[in-house]
Amino acid sequence: MKAYITAVAHYVPPDVYDNHWFSTFLDTSDEWIRERTGIRERRFLREGATSDMIVPAAREVLAQRAMQPSDIDCIIVCTVTPDQFFPSTAANVQRKLGATNAWGFDLNAACSGFVYGLWVAAKLIEAGGARNVLLCGADKMSSIINFEDRTTCVLFGDGAGVVLLEPGDDEAYGVQDAIIRMDGEGGQYLYMPAGGSLRPPSYETVANKEHYVFQDGQTVFKAAVVGMAEVSAEIMERNGLSAETVAWLVPHQANLRIIDATARRMGLSKDKVMVNIDRYGNTTAATIPICLSELYQAGKLHRGDNIILASFGAGYTWGSLWLRWAIERTQV
Ligand code: UT7
């Protein structure tokens, strides 16, 4: 048995902020942001929480399969911006959807959340621990970015992507293999200093702006270029995949230069690489499922396509996952 993605959808907030908007209050420019990152615009959620972006995408996923919320038996929410520390955002999604038969949990692997989550969900299904898993990658990054810090605030956006996973009998389809890594030594280069048990919220932490993303961009950049390219090349090698037999690279969208380096290492031409960072920026755990959803909506995913997902993020966490697409859009 393998786990198949049988439906996919996404939600992005309607409010668009282009690069010029930042230059009205920060020393930055459209040119700098575009050239260094590939980002042109991003979307920010004005009101509501991470779960409010997940719910519309989840409803669409259920509609694609003509399923009821009560058909879901597990909800996994990959996020670094949960609605609250507890209860889990998964519990909030369960309540808002009315998915009365579902258990679930949040998973924090930052930008690698969706790759981690997909591997966990696939193994859960293969082991018989769940049948219909709703896997969500979602982040409201605008809730944790410091709009006075030009080195981070221009990079991120808000959004959600949701897939439904179901068991499938033909082992040649669905989630096939993954190489998943973590290196806690990288934690110091991309993190939120306060708010947790290490530094609980206080007047001081708020005054010092410690409840926002801190990133040593250059250090993370170097680690990401090496890490994401390495695991992506390795997963191709150990599964006998070639540039010809891979249909799509669906990479985490943090920086176009990191994506290009990964594609080069895999020998893939640009037309096989999904890129939407120009429109959404880095939506952390949401980038990969939003990419999958847009590819699917555009009719660009076909049964049997070899797809490589690749990510790198805080932790450090990184990984690459190979799946063979199991459905045709005409079936839904
Ligand atoms: O998704 C999770 C993982 N995260 C990543 O993968 C992100 C990895 N890092 C990056 O993508 C890049 O390092 C950044 C896009 C964050 C930065 O690009 P960079 O080419 O590494 O620039 P830099 O940090 O070396 O900064 C170069 C210059 C600096 O000025 P000086 O010191 O040379 O005078 C910065 O102060 O650019 C300056 N700078 C800016 N200038 C205009 C930094 N941010 C901005 C800005 N506008 N927004």
- Residues 147 and 243 both lie in one domain: no
- Domain-embedded: residue 142: yes
Residue nearest to atom 16 of ligand 1 (CA): 217
- Domain-embedded: residue 330: no
- Residues 21 and 96 both lie in one domain: yes
- Domain-embedded: residue 141: yes
Q: Quote the ligand 1 centre to 81 CA distance (angstroms).
A: 23
Contact 160, 286 (CB under 8 A): yes
Residue nearest to atom 1 of ligand 1 (CA): 254
- Residues 145 and 190 both lie in one domain: no
- For residue 313 and ligand 1, the question of a CB distance below 6 A is answered with yes
- Domain-embedded: residue 320: yes
Q: What is the pLDDT of residue 213?
A: 98
- Residues 224 and 262 both lie in one domain: yes
Pocket test for ligand 1, best of 23, 33, 36, 145 (most atoms within 8 A of CB): 36
- Report residue 70 as tokens: 């009560």
- Report residue 304 as tokens: 């049997």
Question: Given the CA of residue 254, which atom of ligand 1 is nearest to it?
Answer: 1
Domain residues for the domain of 219 are 175-324
- Residues 297 and 260 both lie in one domain: yes
Domain termination site, one of 168, 198, 230: 168
Q: Quote the ligand 1 centre to 291 CA distance (angstroms).
A: 24
- Residues 19 and 66 both lie in one domain: yes
- For residue 221 and ligand 1, the question of a CB distance below 6 A is answered with yes
Residue 187 to residues 216, 237, 317, Cα–Cα distance (Å): 11, 29, 9
- For residue 259 and ligand 1, the question of a CB distance below 6 A is answered with no
- For residue 310 and ligand 1, the question of a CB distance below 6 A is answered with no
- Domain-embedded: residue 55: yes
Question: Given the CA of residue 284, which atom of ligand 1 is nearest to it?
Answer: 1
- Domain-embedded: residue 332: no
- For residue 282 and ligand 1, the question of a CB distance below 6 A is answered with yes
Can you give the three-state secondary structure of 78-97, one letter per residue?
A: ECCCCCCCCCCHHHHHHHHH
Rounded Cα distance, 276 and 250, in Å? 10
Q: Quote the ligand 1 centre to 57 CA distance (angstroms).
A: 32
- For residue 268 and ligand 1, the question of a CB distance below 6 A is answered with no
- For residue 254 and ligand 1, the question of a CB distance below 6 A is answered with yes
Q: Name the residue among 11, 14, 259 with its Cα closest to residue 137.
A: 11
- Residues 205 and 274 both lie in one domain: yes
Beta strand 174-182 with 317-324 is antiparallel
Residues 6 or more apart whose Cβ sits within 8 Å of residue 260 = none
- Residues 38 and 145 both lie in one domain: yes
- For residue 80 and ligand 1, the question of a CB distance below 6 A is answered with no
- Residues 137 and 220 both lie in one domain: no
Q: What is the pLDDT of residue 332?
A: 45
Pocket test for ligand 1, best of 151, 260, 288 (most atoms within 8 A of CB): 151
Q: How far apart are the first and last CA of the chain?
A: 22
Q: Quote the ligand 1 centre to 230 CA distance (angstroms).
A: 23
Q: What is the pLDDT of residue 330?
A: 66
- Domain-embedded: residue 331: no
- Residues 126 and 86 both lie in one domain: yes
Residues 6 or more apart whose Cβ sits within 8 Å of residue 63 = none
- Domain-embedded: residue 226: yes
């199991």: which residue's tokens? 326
Contact 191, 214 (CB under 8 A): yes
Pocket test for ligand 1, best of 149, 221, 225, 226 (most atoms within 8 A of CB): 221
Question: Given the CA of residue 28, which atom of ligand 1 is nearest to it?
Answer: 47
Q: What is the pLDDT of residue 331?
A: 47
Beta strand 306-313 with 317-324 is antiparallel
Residue 7 maps to which CATH number?
3.40.47.10
Q: What is the total count of domains within the chain?
A: 2
- Report residue 15 as tokens: 């409010």
- Residues 162 and 184 both lie in one domain: no
Collapsing DSSP states into helix, strand and coil, what is residue 291? helix
Catalytic residues, by residue number, are 111, 252, 282
Any idea what the Cα angle at residue 164 is, between residues 105 and 296, rounded to 5°?
135
Domain termination site, one of 113, 139, 168: 168
Domain termination site, one of 127, 146, 168: 168
- For residue 258 and ligand 1, the question of a CB distance below 6 A is answered with yes
Tens digit of each residue's pLDDT, the chain (332 residues): 999 999 999 999 999 999 999 999 999 999 999 999 999 999 999 999 999 999 999 999 999 999 999 999 999 999 999 999 999 999 999 999 999 999 999 999 999 999 999 999 999 999 999 999 999 999 999 999 999 999 999 999 999 999 999 999 999 999 999 999 999 999 999 999 999 999 999 999 999 999 999 999 999 999 999 999 999 999 999 999 999 999 999 999 999 999 999 999 999 999 999 999 999 999 999 999 999 999 999 999 999 999 999 999 999 999 999 999 999 876 44
- Residues 183 and 164 both lie in one domain: no
